[in-house]
Every structure is written in structure tokens, then in C-alpha cells.
């Protein structure tokens, strides 16, 4: 009888000694690193490794080799920089008995999406500092070259909401700001892995009743693509949005001075009948022209007093006529011999826009000039 009791007691002790377990686990992180490595917070795997065992009764450590795990030596510090597919060994040691169990921890790196820097949206005030913004305009910008079918773009009013993925703006295509400027938090989520990246942009409201750049073009009219956003209209690519640029095509002639019919509106002036207003196309006032396959340079432009026409080699120009904006010939210059530089005295012309008709041996070409 005594032997049976001792045997049962021994079995009970053995069951208690080996009750701890170490569950196989996987730790997954998101990373946009091009090195193929990522930083793993190994402590995040403790719960999966322990399972239902109380954390306050056990110590979890991670090791490079099974032998180190078995001997409880050379524990890896957390955070740990690892590669996708790395396998570590986990050790679960019971504090009260120092008994242990060993298993594996697989490290997985999922590719994080890229949330590209996103420009602000600038809209016209509809009253009280408010506007109705189409946040979706920035979806393609934040995605860049990433396939939109593989990613979800969401908009939030706070970083806390964006981090938690809650309270997403319900109607981002028609969002009315609550104050201004207002920061919008935008997330890009990989639809497969669930990895998320975030960036921000601002909503800005401006008073479009004011011609902010004094170029005679209404601020609202400077929204050339008609999408409501004034921040993506920069005709000449000089970094100044059209609504703040008084030379929209960067041709050296102020937009206000390209009001050639003098009606106070440069938007209806298209002297070359191209379908594009002169203030938006620099070729109308380019100083370099080609005549009979010879490059001519007309300078300075704008000018005052004299204008020079030069060629890259001696070229015969027979006549240069000057016309005003309504088509009247106001001056004519004739040349009897070939010159390298032809000089035009235009000191008698009043301030305004004129056109030169440069007549070569077999061809005539126009050139717009500004007299100031």
C-alpha cells in the first residue's frame, strides 16, 4: 500500500514538473525597408508562446540555437533586427521550479505600403472659412505607382483614429472642413497583408474674391483643371501656383500685360489662335525664331528704345514691319544689305504689345514684342 502511494506521489510530482509548455509561434511585422531586414519586438510573441500559462509565473527568452535555448544562455535582446524567414528558439522557464520547455519562433516580414508625401488641398472659401473638399484627389498621389486594386486609402481626422483604423471619414469626396487649416491623416493599407502606412496633408481655404497675384485673372479662374483644388495648377512648373504667380507661363511677360485687347481680362487673348490664352503659353513671346532654317534671336523683350534681331550667321532680312494689337502697321524697317545684327529704333512707340513681321528671302515669321 505504501509503495502505491509513493508511486502516485512521484507521478504527480513529474506531471507538475513538466506542466509548462512552449508553443510554436510566428511574429509578423511590416516593413518598407529595401534591405530586407526589419526590427522585431520579440516580447510581442510572448503571449503566443505561453498560450494559457500565466505570464507572471514564467520567463520567456529567445535564442539563436536550440542548444542555447536548452541551456538558457545567450538570450537575444529585444528589439531584434532580423530577416524574413528567420527561425529562433523560444524557452519557457517556470520561475518557481526553473523547469523549462523549448519551441520555435518564426519571423515573417510583410512589405509595408508606401504613403507618398501628399500636397495640401487649397480651395475657395464658400463662406466663413469653409469649403467642400474632394479628398479623393490625393488618393492617386499618396499611392504613387502602387496598384490601386491592391491597396485601400482611408482618411481620418486624427492620428489616434488613423492608428486604430476607426472613425474613417465617411464621405471623403465631399468633406467640409471644421476649421482651417485642418490636418487630414491618410492611411494606405495593403489589402492582403494588412500592413499600413500613414501620411498627412492640410486643407486650406482662401478668399477667391481677391486677385491674390494681381494678374487680372480671378483667383477661382486659376483652377485650370476645374477640380476645385488650386494647389495643382502650375502652368510653367516654377513652383508658384497660378493663383500666386503673376507670370503664369514664365515667358518674361506679366500675365496682366498679356491682356492684348485691353479689356481687363487676359483669359480671352489668343493672338496665335492656338486655343490657349496667351498668358498660358510661353511660345507666343519666345525671342528665338527660325526663318529659312536660320535661327533668329529677337532681344530684349520686353524692350524700350531699341530692339535687335540677330542670326547665327549672316542672313538677309529684307524688311521688318511693326504692327499694333489691332493690326495696324505702325512702323517699317527696310534693309539693303546683309547684316549680322539688325537694329530697330522703336523709341517712338508707346507702351503696349506689338508684332514684328520679319521678312526673309523667301519666308516671313511673326514675333510678339512688349514695349514698356
Q: Is the distance from CB of 183 to CB of 200 less than 8 angstroms? A: yes
pLDDT at 114 > cutoff 50: yes
Question: Minimum mean pLDDT among 218-227, 232-241, 355-364: which range?
Answer: 355-364
Q: How confident is the model at residue 241 (pLDDT cuts 50, 70, 90)?
A: very high
Choose between 293 and 108: higher pLDDT.
108
C-alpha cell recorded at residue 115: 504613403
Per-residue DSSP letter, 242: G
Cite the DSSP H helix spans in 159-311. 159-164
In terms of pLDDT, which residue wins out, 315 or 248? Answer: 248
pTM of this prediction exceeds 0.85 = no
Q: Does 18 have pLDDT greater than 90?
A: no
What class does CATH assign to 286-371? Answer: mainly beta
Whether 310 has a pLDDT exceeding 50, the answer reads yes
Q: What would the CATH number be for the domain defined by 20-111? A: 2.60.40
pLDDT at residue 129 is higher than 60: yes
CATH 2.60.40.3080 residue ranges for the chain: 286-371
**pLDDT for res 95:** 94
What class does CATH assign to 121-206?
mainly beta
- Tens-place pLDDT, residues 21-42: 879 999 999 988 778 899 999 9
Q: What Å distances lie between residue 10 and 6, 19, 100, CA to CA?
A: 6, 14, 19
CB atoms within 10 A of CB 185: 20
Has residue 2 got a pLDDT over 80?
A: no
**Count of beta carbons in the 10 Å neighbourhood of residue 216:** 19
pLDDT above 50 for 123: yes
Q: Is 49 left (phi over 0), alpha (psi -120 to 50) or beta?
A: alpha
Amino acid at each position: 500500500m505504501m509503495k502505491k502511494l509513493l508511486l502516485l506521489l512521484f507521478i504527480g510530482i513529474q506531471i507538475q514538473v513538466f506542466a509548462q509548455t512552449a508553443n510554436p509561434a510566428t511574429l509578423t511585422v511590416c516593413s518598407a525597408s529595401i534591405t530586407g531586414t526589419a526590427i522585431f519586438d520579440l516580447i510581442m510573441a510572448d503571449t503566443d508562446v505561453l498560450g494559457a500559462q500565466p505570464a507572471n509565473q514564467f520567463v520567456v527568452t529567445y535564442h539563436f540555437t536550440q542548444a542555447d535555448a536548452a541551456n538558457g544562455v545567450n538570450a537575444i535582446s529585444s528589439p531584434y533586427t532580423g530577416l524574413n524567414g528567420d527561425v529562433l528558439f523560444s524557452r519557457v522557464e517556470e520561475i518557481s521550479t526553473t523547469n523549462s520547455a523549448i519551441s520555435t519562433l518564426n519571423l515573417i516580414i510583410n512589405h509595408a505600403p508606401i504613403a507618398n508625401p501628399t500636397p495640401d488641398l487649397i480651395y475657395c472659401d464658400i463662406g466663413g472659412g469653409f469649403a467642400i473638399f474632394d479628398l479623393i484627389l490625393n488618393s492617386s498621389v499618396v499611392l504613387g505607382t502602387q496598384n490601386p486594386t491592391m491597396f485601400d486609402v482611408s482618411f481620418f481626422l486624427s492620428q489616434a483614429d488613423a492608428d486604430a483604423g476607426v472613425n474613417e471619414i465617411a464621405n471623403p469626396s465631399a468633406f467640409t472642413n471644421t476649421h482651417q487649416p485642418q490636418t487630414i491623416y491618410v492611411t494606405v493599407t495593403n489589402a492582403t497583408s494588412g500592413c499600413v502606412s500613414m501620411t498627412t496633408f492640410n486643407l486650406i481655404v482662401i478668399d477667391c474674391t481677391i486677385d491674390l497675384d494681381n494678374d487680372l485673372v480671378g483667383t477661382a479662374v486659376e483652377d485650370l483643371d476645374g477640380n476645385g483644388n488650386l494647389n495643382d495648377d502650375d502652368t510653367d512648373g516654377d513652383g508658384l501656383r497660378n493663383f500666386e504667380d503673376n507670370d503664369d507661363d514664365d515667358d518674361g511677360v506679366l500675365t496682366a500685360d498679356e491682356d492684348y485687347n485691353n479689356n481687363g481680362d487676359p483669359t480671352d487673348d489668343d493672338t496665335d489662335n492656338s486655343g490657349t490664352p496667351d498668358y498660358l503659353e510661353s511660345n507666343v513671346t519666345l525671342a528665338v525664331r527660325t526663318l529659312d532654317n536660320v535661327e533668329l534671336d529677337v532681344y530684349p523683350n520686353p524692350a524700350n528704345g531699341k530692339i535687335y534681331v540677330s542670326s547665327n550667321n549672316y542672313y538677309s532680312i529684307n524688311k521688318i514691319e511693326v504692327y499694333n494689337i489691332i493690326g495696324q502697321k505702325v512702323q517699317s524697317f527696310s534693309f539693303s544689305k546683309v547684316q549680322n545684327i539688325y537694329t530697330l529704333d522703336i523709341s517712338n512707340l508707346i507702351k503696349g504689345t506689338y508684332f514684328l513681321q520679319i521678312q526673309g528671302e523667301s519666308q516671313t515669321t511673326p514675333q510678339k514684342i512688349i514695349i514698356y
